[in-house]
Structure formats: C-alpha cells, structure tokens
Amino acid sequence: MAPSLAAANTNDFTVFMVLDIDEGAVVATERSNRVDYVIQCARLKTLTERWQPQQVIAEQNSIGQPIIEQLTRDGLRIDSFTTTNASKAQAIESLALAFERGEIRIPNDPVLIGELLAYQAERLPSGLTRYGARSGQHDDTVMALAMAWSAVSRQKQLVYSLPDSAIVVDDFRIPEHWPRAYGLDLRWGIGSAVWGALDPETDTLYLYAEYSDEAESAVHAAAIRARGDWMPGLVDPQANGRNPVDGRRLMQMYRQRGLNLQCISNSLESGVMSLRERMHTGHLKVSASLSGFLEQRRLYRRDEKGQIVDEHNNMMDAARCLIGGLAGLRRKPSPSAPPPPLPTGERSWMS
C-alpha cells in the first residue's frame, strides 16, 4: 500500500482523507467541526504515523497555512494545494473522470456520498465553470477526495515514485578507495553536475555532491575542478539537441579548462531504467544535502502520452550520464612518494 493523505477545510469543517495509490481506494476518513489547530495537528500526525503516506497535501487557503507551518516544524513535509477556480476545476474534473473509468473506490460513507451526489457545476457568464456545493451545503469531503486523487494522479505519472526515505542517507565521509566520477549536463549557459562514488563491496552508488549554476564555462569548470580535477566527468556530447560536431567542440573547450571529460551515450529510456532499478533494489543512495537533485526527482514525470516531460531535468540528465558511464569511475590517485634520500657522500646525476 502506498497511501496519499489530503487535508481540506471548507465552511468550518476539516477533513483528513487517506487514499491508497495502488488500489485507488479511500482507506480512512476523519471529519471534524470547529476543532482547535493544535488538536488537528495531533490528529494528522497520528494518521501519518499509522499510514506512512508518500505525500501529504493540504489546502493552503484555509486549514493549510497554520497546520503546514506546525507540521513542518514537527518534521513532516507537506505539499500545499491553493484552491482557485482553475485548480478546483482541474481537480474535480480529474476526479469525475476517475469515477467514470472505475479507477477510484470510496467507502459507504453517507456524508461523502451525499456531498458527491449534491455537488454541482455552474456555468459562469465568462464561459468558465464553477464547481461547488449547493447553497447552505458542504463540499469538504469532495474537496479532500479531489485533492487526494490529484496527488495520486501525479504520483502515477512520476518517473521515480519511491519516497525520499527509501533512498536518502545522511552525509558521510566517502572512503578514499571508492571509485568516483561525476555526470555533467551542459545547456544554454547552465552547467549541472552530480558526483557519485561506488561502494565496491555492495555495488551501491552514492550520489554525494551536486552543482548547478547559470554562468560562463570558466565558472563551471572552476567549480567542478574544485571537487577534484583528477575525477573523470561523464558527458553526452549530443545531449540537449546538439549535433555531434558541436558537442565534441564543447567537450574540447571544457577539457582545455582542465576537466577530465569522457564521452558517453546518454540514452533516455535505458538510463531512466538503470536509475530506477538501482533505486528499487537499494543500490542507489542519495546524500540528504542534495536538495536540488531530490527536488527534481519529485517533479520528474511523464505526460499523458507516456513521454518524459522535458523540464526540471538537468540534474536528472547529469545523473543519467553518471549511470551510463559507471565503467569510467576511477579511484583517487595515491600521492607520489618522495624519492629515498641518497647515502651520505653520494650525489644524484640531477644535481
């Protein structure tokens, strides 16, 4: 079970709803009226401890802000949902389509069923549609369900749907003998790199550092060299639509700035599959400090046609380069030992 939890508040009612992502089924609901925020926070924390949801989504407009701030301080990551006419319409229409397709199941809850049956759409003079309960009635359970389903829909489109807790580890000192390299993505003045080290005993790849900035090539090269100019960089010269000639010229320019670059072929689908398999088998771990990589991983998704959306992906592409060139990882060279001292009275031919 991989649940998602939604918290909605309308007309003084608060609803917590837990939806099983795999089954598309509501597995828990709590509805309360005029309850203090402290108690609401405690109830929501209890639900998250019980169900361990992949995502908690809260309505920012009403219940959201006080509870989001409190739960964030308590260590929970909350995604906010800002209710506007447009966002509400999108969530409700997605929920309606899910019912038509039989993709969602709800319990025999008279409040939820009653609110769903009474829910209505009103055509505005502007041509837009406004969704909501009839005058004097409530729609809090409908909104909680719609928000939870919108989260589930996004989860199903995610390329890497595992929760952060499955791959994130605390930062630690990488052993000197572990081979290392970095994947490099270059585009439109933006340079992005992800460094990895491979534990040779467990075949686990640890992503331990990242870099991304919009600057001149000299700035990128200096920042990357600072982490070890001996380390190989893995880059696809044909990435981001470049032709082979331009790509190799770009690589040569960065080599002249001191980077030790190796050319690889960064295939999209096979690279994604390799990353995904390592994540799911426990052979890829990410240091907690890699906030940029982790944020992009949460957004990396496919569209309705199954194609990967080409945005928020420079770190993802750099990581794919690293995965595609694991054979190129190298151990840090040992410092050269000084020559032994000459016996007293002898002179070197170099003197």
Distance of alpha carbon 238 from alpha carbon 221, whole angstroms: 19
Pick the closest to residue 144 from 30, 297, 2 (CA basis). 30
Across the beta sheet with 190-199, the strand order is 168-169, 284-287, 204-214, 190-199, 180-187, 232-235, 260-263
For 161-202, write each residue's pLDDT tens digit. 788 889 999 999 999 999 999 999 998 889 999 999 999 999
Same topology, domains 3-157 and 165-328? Answer is yes
Residue in the block written with tokens 């990882």: 329
For 262-314, write each residue's pLDDT tens digit. 999 888 889 999 999 999 999 999 999 999 999 889 888 887 777 888 887 89
Pick the closest to residue 186 from 204, 213, 158 (CA basis). 213
165-328 CATH: 3.30.420.280
3-157 CATH: 3.30.420.240
Residue in the block written with tokens 């075949």: 203
Q: Is the pTM of this model over 0.75?
A: no
Contact 157, 301 (CB under 8 A): yes
How much is the pLDDT for 341? 60
Domain chopping of the chain, boundaries: 3-157, 165-328
Bridge partners of 178?
Answer: none
